[in-house]
A and B are shown apart, each in its own frame.
Chain A
Amino acid sequence: MSEHRSDERANGIDDAQHDVVVVGAGIAGSLVAKRLTQAGFSVLVLEAGPATAAAFDDYSNHVQAFYAATSKGPESAWPPAAGVPQPDTADIRTGDGYFVQAGPLPYGSTYTRLQGGSTLHWLGVSLRMLPEDFQLQSSYGVGRDWPLDYWALEPFYGEAEHEIGVAADVVDQTHLGLEFAPGYDYPMHRIPPSYSDRLLAAAVDGMTVNLGEDQLALKVRNYPAARNSMPRGDYRPVGAVDQRRAGQGDGHGLARDLGQRCAGNTACTPICPIQAKYNAGKTLAQADGRTLQVVAQAVASKIQLDPVTGEVRGIEYQRYDDPASARHTVHVARGRVYVLAAHAIENAKLMLASGLGSASGMLGRNLMDHPSIYGWGLASHPVGPYRGPLSTSGIDDLRGGPFRARHAALRVDVGNDGWRAPTGAPDSTVTDAVANRGLFGTALREHLRSTLSRHVRFSLNVEQLPSRSNRVSIDPRYVDLLGNPRPVINYDIDEYTLAGMAAAKRVYQEVFRRAGIKDCTDPEQGVWFPSVAYQGDTLHYHGMGHFAGTHVMGNDPAQSVVDTDQRCWEHRNLFLVGSGSFPTMGTSNPTLTLAALALRTARHLAKELST
């Protein structure tokens, strides 16, 4: 895809009229581009960040950057361009980053502004939302109902699972009311559970916990993962993206054989070195190149309206050649319809910066995340951590049930990565042994062998409901190097979610006790995370990168920004796709659901553009 970076490609496009202009080459934009180019429509994709993850050699450089980085955070492999800043985990503590954290609490999540988007460093958890998640208000009297029910989205879930390449067995997933189309199964068999998963399941399966008046039985389950596994039927796992063609002079697509199966590199976040884990570049590479045009390093900055019809007539964008510089030229992209697929925050920001979408008063509001807490402990025997995908199993039984009338649902992610995330182990374990315990030689080796091998980590991801006051807005005082607004984030965690977080803490402590795992959770000694006081306790929480709600979908233009097709109520040739459309998020990682919604919108658009 490197040719898309050339000036010639960027310059002749001002006069061109495309069928569709897509803003953002992440998963949503790539799926729309793939579907619509394959339907014969011309699609222009504007990508704010560089396309350095699109070509195999460039991707390899990102792998090298990760190897060389001293801090292995989610962003370590993916530095942004100067004019296209992105939130960074390290900035949450200082409060001085791309986000203007307006409080009262810091918003704990980040995303990536490069071609490929945040799928470059996602974990790959691809859970469907539960049927009851779509009717939270009518079932439990909290949150909002979706204007669609589960069955309206079910076929698109199946489509998305095949586009992404999700490994799971339906037989593991049919619980909590989740049903699949008759005869359906995932395109690939489940990733085998890790050794520690199996030990934990043996200890935990069948134990019960109480959430309010509900008594819930727990079971360790494999979760659907966007990483390549053994295919079912004729499905062929998609490995590394390598579009070099014979005679191009720099190799010949020889890397396509890489990544056809997960090889357990234990680096899913921040970067899968062999691309066995899905990233949006795979989808974009499958688009029909004859009608696809991708312009990277092109920052959409303003949506232009036709003053008479109220329809969008163009999107202004700033094109830069040098990622290290803010020097740029301004262009306008024109199409019949426009699809914003830039991320929940960036979609809302672009609308706000263009003075659009304000009629319902909902734009930018209802910002959600999954505020999550870590629990870490020492198993009584070696469990084999620090190998395999970062996680392969979870406990899903607390994702649904009547208790949701009182407090948030939660999902337990069971790690294979020891104490890496909450404490910086294994490095911090070595430092502690040498500096604090004075160990060296044989004693040091024995200490490391006996402790590292027993590290267990849970992450408990807690549901958050939409709230008008949790929002992204813009303020002319805060702009980036290109003069575009930085997101101002107002964020708080309400009683409903706090009670869920407190329950989550209780749950992991009970599970640890049951499994004979010594609780070593000590947020004061671990990696810094923001905290919130609740009923005399201090809850430390981390973001999951699960942004949602900023351009909420609904049936009523007075209460929502987009309709069920993700079409903007106020501007009928403008679509806002992504998790920003979610009325609620339940406890699912949003990527699969936003992919299903994007495919549904693409199908609608293909029909509409044909008439």
Chain B
Amino acid sequence: MTAARLKELLAAAVKLELATIPPYLCALYSIRPGSNQQATLVLRSVVVEEMLHMVLAANVLNAIGGRPQVAGREHAPHYPHELPDGVILDLLPFSPAAIESFLQVENPQYLPTLTAPDSAALQVRRPELHTSHAVAVSERPTTIGAFYQEITETLKAVAADIGEPALFCGDPARQIGAEFYYAGGGSPTRVTDLESACRALDEVVDQGEGDILSPYDADGDLAHYFRFQQLKYNRSYLAADEIGTPTGPAMGVDFKTVYPMLANPRTAEYDDPDLKAASVRANHSWSQLLQQLDAAFDGRPDALLPAVHTMFRLRDAMLVLLANPLPDHHGRHAGPTFEWQPFTTAKAGTNHDLSP
């Protein structure tokens, strides 16, 4: 139970939250414009809350004098990506398989029903599995819930051991506040002591996994798991509904009005020069975004301002890829590959370009 162990766990937590984002983005942007309106809102609401969770974990780590890192080949997520629960994050279009995967991510107790039509086909598109840092730093098999529980318990133990002022020795200027983080699932908590650290981590666990016995969180919003259940069953929850059996109006889910993106694609698989260039462009934007996030977590919160432009560029590049079928892939479309590929490879990780 040391501060060093705590930093190791929190550094892995930041990467864990980051790793959940690209799969949600693939599902979100693979939806054809104008269709699946409710599903779009659900996916968007979840992905922005994952962004908040990443910022909250980074705030806790910075509060104890740590250094969150997300840029660089060793820190950026790679797909397919294995989480502590054994859950595998794939880059998939909006599909029953994607929904099943999201249900697993959002509830560690969930047992996947392996009936989704493209589950079997997906296995062959998992050429190599990348293990989450959260798995690597865990001393025994764990779950996301247990992983966060260990962080909270260690925080309390170390605070009791060395005292709060000694533990929370980070520079408050490194905290990300509401002026730079917005429109993403709520306002980030500035972490300065044990109470605010626990509040920040509670929010991550509460929004992310929620209480499996209560579909609604403290704000009266449906927890992620149940939002995805609504998509799985194409039925919205009414207030009186039993858990697992929503009976409200249909959610308008239509898996056919989706760009059928190739699962876990690689830029190297794109033979068409235009598509390859588009994929490189997307990866440049993704890598630049990670560099800007890395700078924001390293005492430059204002790096989040140009990061907004980068996110728009990344979205535009993703949409170009998704709208285009791939030759020789049976009608499958291209998609974002989320590979670490910074624009200036010579100085990877140091290119903190803040200009829009």
A199, chain B: closest CB distance, angstroms? 16
**In A341-377, which residues have CB < 8 Å from any B CB?**
none
B172 adjacent to chain A (CB < 8 Å)? no
Cβ-defined contact, B37 with A254, below 8 A: no
A389, chain B: closest CB distance, angstroms? 15
A237 adjacent to chain B (CB < 8 Å)? yes
A237 to B180, CA, bound (A): 12
Cβ-defined contact, B185 with A246, below 8 A: no
A239 to B44, CA, bound (A): 15
Cβ-defined contact, A254 with B42, below 8 A: yes
Q: Using Cβ atoms and an 8 Å threshold, which residues of chain A touch B180? A: 230
A236 to B239, CA, bound (A): 29
B46 nearest CB neighbor, chain A only: A254
Cβ-defined contact, A254 with B41, below 8 A: yes
A251 adjacent to chain B (CB < 8 Å)? yes
A261 to B179, CA, bound (A): 10
B187 adjacent to chain A (CB < 8 Å)? yes
Cβ-defined contact, A60 with B221, below 8 A: no
A551 to B141, CA, bound (A): 75
Majority DSSP secondary structure for residues of A touching B: loop
Cβ-defined contact, A236 with B183, below 8 A: no
A290 to B38, CA, bound (A): 28
Q: Using Cβ atoms and an 8 Å threshold, which residues of chain A touch B34? A: 64
A198 to B184, CA, bound (A): 30
Cβ-defined contact, A250 with B236, below 8 A: yes
Q: Mark A229-271, 1 if CB is under 8 A from B, else 0.
A: 0110000110100000111111111110111110100000000
Chain A: residues with Cβ within 8 Å of the partner, total of 25
Q: Using Cβ atoms and an 8 Å threshold, which residues of chain A touch B236? A: 249-251
Cβ-defined contact, A246 with B221, below 8 A: yes
A57 adjacent to chain B (CB < 8 Å)? yes
Q: Using Cβ atoms and an 8 Å threshold, which residues of chain B touch A251? A: 38, 41, 236
B265, chain A: closest CB distance, angstroms? 28
A257 to B240, CA, bound (A): 26
Cβ-defined contact, A257 with B216, below 8 A: no
Q: Using Cβ atoms and an 8 Å threshold, which residues of chain B touch A237? A: 182
Knowing A57-B37, A231-B178, A254-B44, the reply to whether A246 touches B239 (Cβ < 8 A) is: yes
Cβ-defined contact, B37 with A60, below 8 A: yes
B227 adjacent to chain A (CB < 8 Å)? yes
Cβ-defined contact, A247 with B237, below 8 A: yes
**In B176-232, which residues have CB < 8 Å from any A CB?**
178-180, 182-185, 187, 215-216, 220-222, 227
B248 nearest CB neighbor, chain A only: A249
Chain B: residues with Cβ within 8 Å of the partner, total of 32
Q: Using Cβ atoms and an 8 Å threshold, which residues of chain A touch B221? A: 246, 252-254
B41 nearest CB neighbor, chain A only: A254
**In B313-333, which residues have CB < 8 Å from any A CB?**
none
Most buried by A among B178, B237, B308: B178
A257 to B219, CA, bound (A): 14
A56 nearest CB neighbor, chain B only: B41
B209, chain A: closest CB distance, angstroms? 17
B238 adjacent to chain A (CB < 8 Å)? yes
Cβ-defined contact, B227 with A252, below 8 A: yes
Q: Using Cβ atoms and an 8 Å threshold, which residues of chain B touch A261? A: 182-183, 308
**In B23-68, which residues have CB < 8 Å from any A CB?**
34, 37-38, 41-42, 44-45, 48
A236 to B179, CA, bound (A): 9
Knowing A247-B238, A249-B249, A261-B182, the reply to whether A236 touches B41 (Cβ < 8 A) is: no
A260 to B248, CA, bound (A): 30
A247 to B221, CA, bound (A): 9
Cβ-defined contact, A255 with B183, below 8 A: no
Cβ-defined contact, B237 with A257, below 8 A: no
Cβ-defined contact, B183 with A247, below 8 A: no
B229, chain A: closest CB distance, angstroms? 13
A416, chain B: closest CB distance, angstroms? 15
Cβ-defined contact, A245 with B238, below 8 A: no
A102 to B237, CA, bound (A): 57
Q: Using Cβ atoms and an 8 Å threshold, which residues of chain A touch B185? A: 257
A236 to B182, CA, bound (A): 9
Cβ-defined contact, A239 with B183, below 8 A: yes
B242, chain A: closest CB distance, angstroms? 13
- Ordered by A's residue number, 29 sampled pairs between the chains whose C-beta atoms are within 8 Å are A57-B37, A230-B180, A231-B179, A236-B187, A246-B222, A246-B237, A247-B216, A247-B237, A247-B239, A247-B240, A247-B241, A248-B238, A249-B248, A250-B38, A251-B41, A252-B221, A252-B227, A253-B220, A254-B227, A257-B48, A257-B183, A257-B184, A257-B185, A259-B183, A260-B182, A261-B182, A261-B308, A263-B308, A263-B312
Q: A250-B248, A263-B312 are in contact. List 4 more A-B contacts (CB 8 A).
A: A236-B187, A257-B45, A257-B184, A258-B183
Q: Which B residues contact A (CB, under 8 angstroms)?
A: 34, 37-38, 41-42, 44-45, 48, 178-180, 182-185, 187, 215-216, 220-222, 227, 236-241, 248-249, 308, 312
Q: Which A residues contact B (CB, under 8 angstroms)?
A: 57, 60, 64, 230-231, 236-237, 239, 245-255, 257-261, 263
Which A-B residue pairs are the 5 nearest by beta carbons? A247-B239, A249-B248, A260-B183, A254-B45, A254-B41
